[in-house]
Structure 1
Amino acid sequence: MRKDEFIYQQMLKAIVEHHLLPDVRLPEDQLAETFQVSRTGIRKVLHRLALERFVTITPNKGAHVAKPTAEEAEQVLDSRILIEPVLIDGVVAHWSESSKTRLYDIVKQEKVAEQNNNLKDMIQLSASFHTELATLSGNLVMAEFVNQLTLRSSLVIAVFGSKQSVGCDCGHHHDLVDMLDRGEAESAKVWMKRHLEAIKASLQFTIDKPKSINFKDLFSTI
């Protein structure tokens, strides 16, 4: 694994598992010293996290862990509840053995992540599943919109959610793939709506206040 990818995965894991709380400052110099890389290398990782909305970068203030509001979180999930069930007809119309294989592959990885209690991978794989599903609908404009919403949802779940938000408590993606493979569009729409509503209901809109962070100690233990 490349050094920058390793740092990215470590920082993402720290954010998702609430070791780095919302609004915590992410100083380039301390992170560079912690990971034994240049500030340019750290800046590259921070910009990647910013593109995925896990980090905010403000001129003259630097980088901080993103801090979504409860209102923003609800709006993101409400948007997904409105949009994603509508794409099911297109998914069924474009369904193939290749579609089934691609989605089942993600489902298998999700199961491994859940068994390993790996919340970071669970959140990333859930986003991948929904993005892939939207792409299969054939509506590339809406698929791009869903991709952006799933990125924002990943942050929302990282901040306000838990393993229940991406675990079987909210419905297993395997069941949805089975419905799609049988061509049961209406059942799949109902399942998707309930699935996203369950994720929204699982969110807890409380955030602990950020504390002073010793980055060396933090990243030596996760």
Structure 2
Amino acid sequence: MSESRQAHAAKKTRRNEGKAGDGAQRHDAIYRAISDAIIEHRLQPGARLREDALSDVFGVSRTGIRKILQRLALEHLVTLTPRRGASVSRPTAEEARDVFAARQLVECGLMEQVVQRATAADVARLRDDARRERQALKAGKQSEAIKLSAAFHVRLAELAGNATLSEFVGRLCSRSSLILAVYGNTGHLGCESHDHDELIRHLESGNGERARAFMQRHLKAIEASLSIAEAPEETPDLKRIFDGALG
């Protein structure tokens, strides 16, 4: 058998083994890969997510892909439509307003607890997150900066010590990424690069009220940066987007 035919046979064997051996750990890895692609805007709102194409890309069964898409749909990252299948969710203007209203209530409300509970090590980690976000922006790595910005807000919520609320903030930040993709301006993250540094200074000062007021202004500024505009539907190249995603 030629080398090229051997390579093709080995690839086919790995794919078949993967489809026969769908497992929770692999499904979680695929879920994270798709979720990251959505949050980082590599998959745009409205993009179709064909089960057969994803099954081929990741080497798992269509049943497994269907379960993963259903999980993403529960988090409002994917929309499932009868007879049409799955697509990346495209938030409406009303949904965008609702998401930012929820973020105002939850994230601002957590600031007092964050100030009380944050240690010097926590603040140092936040500062490192903000630094990496700035570096990504400076290097023109928009997708990475988007993900880091969302992670900064999630880490803040985690410091408040309420696992349920921090999980909720994580979902809101993921949906905010979709909103920015639909209504945001090109090259704009929503979060100004210096805002997170200023928020960290308020945390270090121990002033919960100032931290709360600043978070309120910060979230309002993100919402104010949005402009409503329809995005055309697209069919993405799933193989290119997820090439090497699972190693």
Q: TM-score band (shorter)?
A: 0.7 to 0.9
Change (3 A) 1:178 1:58: same
Q: For the residues of structure 1 that align with 2:200 and 2:80, how far apart are their CA atoms?
A: 38
Among 80, 103, 113, the residue aligned to 1:80: 103
The question of 1:202 aligning with 2:210 is answered no
The question of 1:146 aligning with 2:169 is answered yes
Contact kept, 8 Å, 1:92 with 1:180, in 2: the verdict is: yes
Q: For the residues of structure 2 that align with 1:108 and 1:27, how far apart are their CA atoms?
A: 37
Contact kept, 8 Å, 1:91 with 1:137, in 2: the verdict is: yes
Correspondence for 2:195: 172
Q: CA deviation at 1:74?
A: 0.9
TM-score normalized with structure 1 length = 0.78
Which stretch shows the higher mean deviation, 128-137 or 112-121? 112-121
Correspondence for 1:110: 133
Q: What's the secondary structure of 2:129's corresponding residue?
A: helix
Among 120, 139, 149, the residue aligned to 1:97: 120
Q: For the residues of structure 2 that align with 1:218 and 1:90, how far apart are their CA atoms?
A: 39
Change (3 A) 1:20 1:93: closer
TM-score normalized with structure 2 length = 0.71
Correspondence for 1:37: 59
Q: For the residues of structure 1 that align with 2:132 and 2:181, how far apart are their CA atoms?
A: 19
Q: For the residues of structure 2 that align with 1:93 and 1:36, how far apart are their CA atoms?
A: 44
Q: CA deviation at 1:27?
A: 1.4
Q: What's the secondary structure of 2:189's corresponding residue?
A: helix
Q: What's the secondary structure of 1:200's corresponding residue?
A: helix
Paired residues in the alignment total 216
Unaligned runs of 5+ in 2: 1-25
Q: For the residues of structure 2 that align with 1:216 and 1:133, how far apart are their CA atoms?
A: 35
Change (3 A) 1:54 1:152: same
Change (3 A) 1:187 1:154: same
Unaligned runs of 5+ in 1: none
